[in-house]
């Protein structure tokens, strides 16, 4: 199902899901019930933008700017990750 990344919803972390900087392991971690996932690189850049203030299109724009990459490439990666995050109930909507 194609998503309207420009005018679509503004994703946020689901209830019970938090991004946490762990000083013991010196790493960003996504905390959710029974799960701890280390996040780095592009995955972290996407997750920290899931704060309910940006559309997926805006997240793509920002990542394309940071990584100085072609927007179409970034778009495919972001959409794939958003699907995965939603399936794992880590991000809404």
Q: Where do contacts with another protein occur on this chain (CB under 8 A)?
A: 14-18, 20, 22, 24-25, 29, 31-34, 36, 86-89
Distance CA 30, CA 44 (A): 9
Between 14 and 69, name the residue whose CB sits nearer to another protein: 14
Q: How far is the CB of 67 from another protein (least distance, A)?
A: 28
Element (H, E) at 14: none
Number of H helices, E strands in the chain: 3, 5
Between 70 and 84, name the residue whose CB sits nearer to another protein: 84
């Amino acid at each position: 199902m194609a998503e309207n990344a420009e005018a679509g919803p503004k994703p946020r972390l689901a209830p019970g899901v938090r991004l946490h900087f762990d000083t013991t392991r010196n790493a960003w971690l996504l905390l959710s019930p029974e799960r701890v996932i280390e996040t780095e690189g592009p995955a972290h850049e996407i997750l920290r933008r899931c704060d309910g203030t940006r559309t997926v299109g805006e997240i793509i724009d920002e990542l394309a700017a940071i990584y100085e990459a072609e927007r179409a490439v970034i778009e495919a990666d972001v959409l794939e990750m958003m699907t995965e995050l939603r399936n794992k109930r880590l991000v809404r909507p």
